[in-house]
Amino acid sequence: MPITRRDFLKASAAVAGALGISGPLLFREQEALARTGGLPIVWLQGQGCTGCSVSLLNSIYYTTIDDLLLNTVDLKFHPNLSAAAGSTAIGAAEAAYGKGGFALVVEGAIPTADLGKACYVWPGTTLLAAVKRYYLRASLLMAVGTCASFGGVSAGKPNPTLAVPLKQVVGGKPVINIPGCPAHPDWVVGTIAYILKNGKAPALDAYGRPKDFFGAKVHDKCPRRSSYVGPGHHSGGRPCLTCHEAGDLSPSRIPSAALSGTGCLYPMGCKGPSTYCDCPTRRWNGAARATPGVNWCIGAGSPCIGCTQPNFPDGMSPFLSAAATTDPAAVPTGGPGVDDEGGDD
Amino acid sequence: MSTTIKLGPVTRVEGHLDIEVTVGSVGGKQQVLSAKSAGTMFRGFEMILKGRDPRDAAFYTQRICGVCPISHGMAASLALEAAFGIQAPDNGRIVRNLVLGANYIQSHILHFYHLAALDYIDTTGIIDMAPWTPRYVTTDMASGSPAKDLVNHYVLALAMRRKAHQMGAILGGRMPCSPVFVGGGETEPVTAGAIADFRALLSELRNFIDTVFIPDVQTVGQIFPEYYAVGKGCGNLLAYGVFDLDAAGTRKLLARGRLTGGQLTTVNTGQIKEYVKYSWYTATSGNRNPAAGVTTPQATKVGAYSWLKAPRYLNQPHEVGALARMWVNGDYRRGISALDRIVARTLETKKVADAMDNWLNELAVGGPVFKGARIPATATGIGLTEAPRGALGHWLQISAGKVGSYQIVTPTAWNASPKDDRGIMGPIEQALVGTPVKDVNQPVEVLRVVHSFDPCLSCAVHLAKPSGDGQKFVVHVEPAAV
């Protein structure tokens, strides 16, 4: 893997170095001290489902969430984890804003219809207004999940609230996109580690995604690739009657046997050939540090639905049919009220 | 002389929730006089699903909520099977139950330790850093060794809920948002290795539940016994039931039923109506059963204060969740209160985890997990299940082989609902009335009651359908009304 656990430990050492801490790096969790160090993060949630935060809690490959929270980041505001509520919580976010130099992380899309009033982060403040204010004092902008990166399910056709990704409301400032529906915790933690270790963002692809994680297609590393026979040939080597009743070749037929085999899932709608991420090797929900996960979508007999791509979900639907995808560059655009120039409103 | 507290954002819930309470003195005791519960985020899932391949619903609806995606995958799969006229094979049913059960365990652990516990303990001097500071610190909070133990267990519980998801992924492919749920069954083959790996993690989790989770909740109950008399609410309970033990779903681990006006009786979803007088929808959107649901937003509506509709059963608010399930099933009937909800949720975690061990024995290695079907041109199907937070229903209509309409009534819509057309408050609102508030600047008592419901707002506020096809609507939320 391009970003290793050793990199993560070096990154945490960089934080410790900045704090003037020497000796063994990681505090024992039971003895966490009051600290003001660590990468400060203001984490805002928009139109989304919290799945990316839940997924982040599953971090294990580089390190665990408690290690991350206790020793590496300074999570100033997070709607699911913050002990504070109401004005106390708002005060914590505002204090980080006042100090500046924080990482602004947005999970979920940002509605722009009617000046963004389909999503409030706290009473009187829409997510749109909060982002347009906070990004100006952030040193790092990160979109976690496909909704924040590209609009995702929240911007699915007909996109009634004119939901847009983070990059469209931050006046052209660079945004690191960590897509996925949900985002894999390693992609988030590994990117944070890279930034802390190197003092800059990792190399990004044309869609703002770290190349280390999103540089290759699912198809490139898929263990089922040997039985792939490509578009135009439907059966993946299986006899037609495996999936269709005699005389019935209707594309709406769900094949009864095919979904649970070990062969290529392209005929079942797999979007691996047009999806970039390292799921085949990293897999999901690992048991231990530096160990790939226990399973993944294709490993569980279910076709890839292309959830890291800019055209997810519309361009990947229907998920269970081998339909052509639409323009991969198409991302939702905002309606009236979106000010791509940023500025001082 | 009363004070209004706008408690927003309510943190340590899922999604966007604002609570407003009016606090005043009754008989010399400062307490909540009235409450408003409001969801403040909106996406429009019903519009987004319309016209799509119906099979996609099992994937899309999981993105309603990343804490309980499996429940939506289950409800969608059941609705699809009802529409297709098929039943999943036993392996498919059991694997889905096991993946759902794994997420129940994850969700219930997350709720107590990471969402609720901080309301009860003072962590000053134990862990003084973000996100655990700033925070309310009140004199009634437990400090000293009970607090230190809970902080240590908070950290341990982070690992345990991670393992619950790891376990779920063995059969579920990935957690959260499992790809294996499909109408007709599921996709992961059943192997002896998967069963063994799943069981090993289940044993670890069951041990944690028995030796750490349950004792911790009992400790909180001993320190805060007054919370068995706080936060009762409407006193009505509703459960669709969950974890089907046979193909037809007639037997369930947690039964279907309701407690209405003190009487235990049966559930007929035809007796559900959703009201919108205090919700940002047109009047014609209200007074409807979900099977005939209409949702036309009207964000400038005078008097409305929430994006949630007000679901009612025979015109009465009903609470849903672990307490409702355990009560209906006869497993817990001590009482209805903030603490009863927490205790019932913990005991349910044990009940589900223990049952899962038996379900592993029922799997047939190599047996079919999926049954195919044709997508009918026209059909309807209802999928009823339970998310960790309560009763969840999907109402699907297929026309011309696509989704014609898709209505979803979620547990938090029941619990966090606003007032209905008769002016009757929703369960959380009712539960807050009478709650003592010692310090209006640190209304932790309000948080304790709200958190006891384990609210999940992404689920509750997702409904929208314009009155005409292709119509864009303008959402205009008045923050002052929240």
Residues of A marked as catalytic: 49, 52, 147, 181, 219, 222, 264, 270, 279, 297, 304, 307
Position B46 scores a pLDDT of 85
Range B409-423 average pLDDT: 96
Cα→Cα distances B311→A186, A288, B19, B272, Å: 40, 44, 19, 7
Considering the domain delimited by A5-22+35-212, tell me its CATH architecture. 3-Layer(aba) Sandwich (3.40)
**pLDDT tens profile A52-96:** 999 999 999 999 999 999 988 999 999 999 999 999 999 999 999
Separation of CA A75 from chain center: 18
- Scanning A130-189 for CB atoms below 8 A from B yields 152-154, 156-158, 160-163, 181-182
Average predicted confidence (pLDDT) for chain A: 82
CATH pick for A218-316 out of 3.20.20.105, 1.10.10.10, 1.10.3720.10, 4.10.480.10 = 4.10.480.10
Binary contact (B130, A88; C-beta < 8 A): no
Range B454-481 average pLDDT: 45
| Closest residue on chain B to A282 (Cα) | B174
Q: Which of A195-204, B285-294, B352-361, B454-463 has the highest mean pLDDT?
A: B352-361
Helical spans, DSSP H, in A208-291: 211-214, 240-243, 279-282
| Closest residue on chain A to B460 (Cα) | A49
Residue A317: both structure tokens together? 């639907």
Q: Which DSSP symbol is given to B245?
A: S
Say whether the peptide bond before residue A202 is cis (omega within 30 degrees of 0).
Answer: no
**pLDDT tens profile A286-341:** 999 999 999 999 999 999 999 999 999 999 999 988 754 444 443 444 433 333 33
Would you place residue B177 in the very low, low, confident or very high pLDDT band (cuts 50, 70, 90)?
Answer: very high
Name the nearest CA neighbour of B40 among B420, B419, B461.
Answer: B461
Instruction: Tell me the chain B residues in contact with residue A65 when contact means C-beta distances shorter than 8 Å.
Output: 158, 162
Spatial CB neighbours of A59, under 8 Å, sequence gap ≥ 6: A65, A68, A185, A186, A188, A189, B162
Spatial CB neighbours of B369, under 8 Å, sequence gap ≥ 6: A260, B88, B89, B91, B92, B95, B185, B186, B187, B188, B189, B190
Do B65 and B458 contact (CB within 8 A), yes or no?
Answer: yes
Would you place residue B225 in the very low, low, confident or very high pLDDT band (cuts 50, 70, 90)?
Answer: very high
- Mutate which of B174, B186, B205 to disrupt the A interface (most A C-beta within 10 Å)? B174
ipTM of the complex model = 0.94
Domain locations in chain A?
5-22+35-212, 218-316
Binary contact (B15, A88; C-beta < 8 A): no
The Cβ of residue B328 has, within 10 Å, a number of other Cβ atoms equal to: 24
- Dihedral angle, C-alpha B74, B77, B78, B83, nearest 10 °: 160
The Cβ of residue B331 has, within 10 Å, a number of other Cβ atoms equal to: 15
Given the structure tokens 């929900």, which residue do they identify? A285
Would you place residue B215 in the very low, low, confident or very high pLDDT band (cuts 50, 70, 90)?
Answer: very high
- Indicate whether A201 pLDDT > 70: yes
Do B344 and B337 contact (CB within 8 A), yes or no?
Answer: no
Would you place residue A197 in the very low, low, confident or very high pLDDT band (cuts 50, 70, 90)?
Answer: confident
| Closest residue on chain B to A313 (Cα) | B60
What is the C-alpha separation between A175 and A131, in angstroms, rounded? Answer: 12
Binary contact (B12, A80; C-beta < 8 A): yes
Task: Point out the residue among B130, B162, B173 whose CB comes nearest to the CB of A297.
Answer: B173
Binary contact (B170, A254; C-beta < 8 A): no
Average predicted confidence (pLDDT) for chain B: 92
- Indicate whether A30 pLDDT > 50: no
- Scanning A42-71 for CB atoms below 8 A from B yields 45-55, 57-60, 64-66, 69-70
| Closest residue on chain B to A262 (Cα) | B189
Domain locations in chain B?
3-481
Strand-pair category, B263-265 with B257-260: antiparallel
- Indicate whether A8 pLDDT > 80: no
The CATH homologous superfamily of the domain defined by B3-481: Cytochrome-c3 Hydrogenase, chain B (1.10.645.10)
Binary contact (A82, B475; C-beta < 8 A): no
- Indicate whether B285 pLDDT > 80: yes
User: Looking at the DSSP assignment, which residues form a beta bridge with residue B405?
Assistant: B397
